[in-house]
Amino acid sequence: MNRLKGMNRTTRKNYITYLVVIAAYVILEVLMRGGGLKAATKGMLVPICAYIVMALSLNLTVGIMGELSLGHAGFMSVGAFCGTATTMCLVNAVPSGGLRLCVGIIVGTIAAALVGFLIGIPVLRLRGDYLAIVTLAFGEIIKSIVGNVYMGVDGGRLKFSMFTNELNLSPNGRIIIEGAMGIRSIPRIATFTAGFILIMISLIVIFHTVGSRSGRAIMAIRDNYIAAESIGIPAFKYKITAFTISAAMAGAAGALFGNNYSSLIASKFNIDTSILVLVFVVLGGQGNMLGSIIAAAALTILPEALRGFADYRMLMYAIILIAVMLVSNNAKVKDILKNLAEKRAAKAMKGGAAHE
């Protein structure tokens, strides 16, 4: 604790975020091993991890870079389909589920990063509402393309087709992606531990990026685009770097998400998913990674917790969400929380002085 107090505010906040994630993982693992979690709750752990990584990735774009993206679900779908198809192709070659999942996540990450880079070239030359609208359009385009891809394995070779199933597979061939039907009969190899590791890696990447020279340049561009360019900061270069990293993380989340279900369809990754992830970021606080983690976990669990109120579940969910947003943006509430934080800090300083 004394070492935490001696750190600067940003470093201390980063370490607190790590500690919270590690503590949550340890507690949930103990509860699972002791039979303290319901089956439904266990089944939600991997999706929660995937949504947390999605929230962190979008927060890098929205909170750190200051650009509104509404097509993040598109990058998630690329990672989900590429990563899941990879793990299915490796079923016979790689018996270990953990190793296949690792390869699948890497493939999903690279594929989403490539798509993010290509989309970022035209998109990031726009700003504000224009950028949001174009990313929304690209997200829907990606979903439509993914939903019309056919892929199979025949004699150790991959075969692809678009819009129609013309793979011409032999009797020994196996279809992996079936267009609008997506991927079926997926071995569910995603685990909570893999999700935890992915969250930790995402946090390390984000905190390292934000604390680096590139991160400071990105935030300078966010605060004042014209001033940053006037002193020689290549705005487009840094923006596309952050956007590509964000897309790569979304792809990794998609690969984890896809390998957690027995079937996967492209329509799952629509505008609703992008808006949901944006809600995580806004509710948790733009630029606040711990807030995004808590918001993603809470808002993923909340609809299931309200399942007992089947007829009014989504209505109650919406009311709670509105109430939380109104309270969190209330000036009086912010002042109260600020005063409490100042009193706690003063008390901690007095306690430290007395100890010395």
Cβ partners under 8 Å of residue 132, min gap 6 = 68, 69, 70
Flag whether pLDDT at 259 surpasses 70: yes
Query: Which strands sit side by side in the sheet containing 157-162, from one edge to the other?
Result: 157-162, 149-154, 174-178
Enter the pTM of the model.
0.86
| Residue 180: pLDDT band with limits 50, 70, 90 | confident
**DSSP string across 3-49:** HHHTS-HHHHHHHHHHHHHHHHHHHHHHHHHTT-S-HHHHHHHHHHH
With cut-offs at 50, 70 and 90, classify the pLDDT of residue 244: very high
Please spell the DSSP secondary structure of 157-220, one letter per residue.
EEEEEESS------TT-EEEEEGGG-B-S------HHHHHHHHHHHHHHHHHHHHSHHHHHHHH
Give yes or no for a contact between 148 and 179, defined as CB atoms under 8 angstroms apart: yes
Which alpha helices (H) appear in 124-147, and where do they start and end? 129-146
Q: How confident is the model at residue 19 (pLDDT cuts 50, 70, 90)?
A: very high
The dihedral through the CA atoms of 11, 27, 283, 75 has a sign that is positive
- What is the three-class DSSP state of 107? helix
Q: pLDDT value at position 225? A: 82
Give me the pLDDT at residue 231, please.
83
Write the pLDDT tens digit of every residue in 82-96: 999 999 988 888 888
pLDDT of residue 128: 74
Query: Phi/psi of residue 166, each to 5°?
Result: -115, 50
What pLDDT digit, counting tens, does each position of 336-349 carry?
A: 766 776 676 666 55
